[in-house]
Amino acid sequence: MRKKEIAAVIFTIFFVFTLVANHIGAEGNKSKISLMADSMDKQDILIDTWSLYAKKSVEKKSIKEVKQIADQHRQYKWVYKQDSEVFKAIGVFENKKKNITEKIQILTTLTNNHSTAYILYEVKGNAAQQDWDKVSEYFHEQSFDIFQENVTTFACLQGLIDDNMKVSLYEKSQELVNEFNADPVEQLQEKDFISISGKTPIWEDFIPTDNDKINIQIALRTDEMGDYTTVVIGTPIITSEY
């Protein structure tokens, strides 16, 4: 009888472990934007806009070299901006087939005092998508074509909660933090606004802060009339001083 009990316990542990492993595996196969969208859907947040970004620092480019890169992407409409220190090329492609807007920005400095150059690729869309993983797959294909290597993807979604929200702004922020098993690192709280920067174990990309590192940001803002609450969830991207 004792052997049967031990066997039953071992089987139960193995079964639970298998369920957990399968759950983690399924989450691991999902893109960041898909996981964010799932969490917003669980929290009854209606997605209205979303964006994906990728950025790569490159060797300093001449104006001629920047224009040569732009010429490789002829489906984009390009404009050029220049001041005494910076030359910037901005290309926009209204992809009507996929109902998204794609943008490439190429920046290079013109002085040697602070030499830098980077390429930024961005995709924006409206409303929730039927298959977020396909959206992410398309983005990765295009970004690989632009950068010629795999680069980190940054994602951001914005959505709305109507005035039927049954919990406080703070409680809703904590529910969202828990959706990602995140640990808050920095937090700002006002009457109608909460912003949280934290760490989630769901993905491994981080950016440094003064005292720690973060890989998710959550913000909620209630409008003055209290009719709706805007929610933004994103993976932080290091912004350029330009």
Structure confidence at residue 224 as a pLDDT band (50, 70, 90)? confident
Answer whether residue 111 shows pLDDT above 80: no
Answer whether residue 235 shows pLDDT above 80: yes
Answer whether residue 61 shows pLDDT above 70: yes
Residue 184 lies inside a defined structural domain of this protein:
yes
- pLDDT for the residue numbered 8: 44
Residue 6 lies inside a defined structural domain of this protein:
no
pLDDT tens, 166-212?
Answer: 788 999 999 999 999 999 999 999 989 999 999 999 998 888 888 89
Answer whether residue 140 shows pLDDT above 80: yes
Torsional sign, CA 49, 54, 55, 61? negative
User: What average pLDDT does the chain have?
Assistant: 85
Residue 213 lies inside a defined structural domain of this protein:
yes
pLDDT tens, 68-107?
Answer: 999 999 999 999 999 888 999 999 999 999 999 999 999 9
Q: Which CATH number does the domain housing residue 91 bear?
A: 3.30.2030.10
Q: Which residues contact 118 (CB under 8 A, 6 or more apart)?
A: 55, 56, 57, 58, 106, 107, 240
- pLDDT for the residue numbered 238: 52
- pLDDT for the residue numbered 101: 97
Residue 158 lies inside a defined structural domain of this protein:
yes
Residue 241 lies inside a defined structural domain of this protein:
no
Q: How many CB atoms sit inside 10 A of residue 135's CB?
A: 22
Answer whether residue 7 shows pLDDT above 50: no
Q: Could you give the number of structural domains in the chain?
A: 1
- pLDDT for the residue numbered 100: 96
pLDDT tens, 142-169?
Answer: 999 999 999 888 999 999 998 777 788 9
- pLDDT for the residue numbered 29: 59
Structure confidence at residue 128 as a pLDDT band (50, 70, 90)? confident
For residues 26 and 219, what is the distance between their CA atoms, to the nearest angstrom? 27
Secondary structure letter of residue 114 according to DSSP: T
CA 19 to chain centre: 28
CA geometry: angle at 129 spanning 56 and 28, to 5°? Answer: 60
Residue 80 lies inside a defined structural domain of this protein:
yes
Query: Which residues face 57 on adjacent strands?
Result: 118
Task: Count the residues in the chain.
Answer: 242
Retrieve residue 133's tokens: 């993983």
Residue 12 lies inside a defined structural domain of this protein:
no
Cβ atoms of residues 117 and 59 within 8 Å: yes
- pLDDT for the residue numbered 12: 39
Instruction: Give the H or E element holding residue 145.
Output: helix 132-147
- pLDDT for the residue numbered 209: 87
Residue 226 lies inside a defined structural domain of this protein:
yes
Range of the domain at 41: 32-234
Stretch 219-225: mean pLDDT, rounded? 87
Q: Which residue has the higher pLDDT, 201 or 15?
A: 201
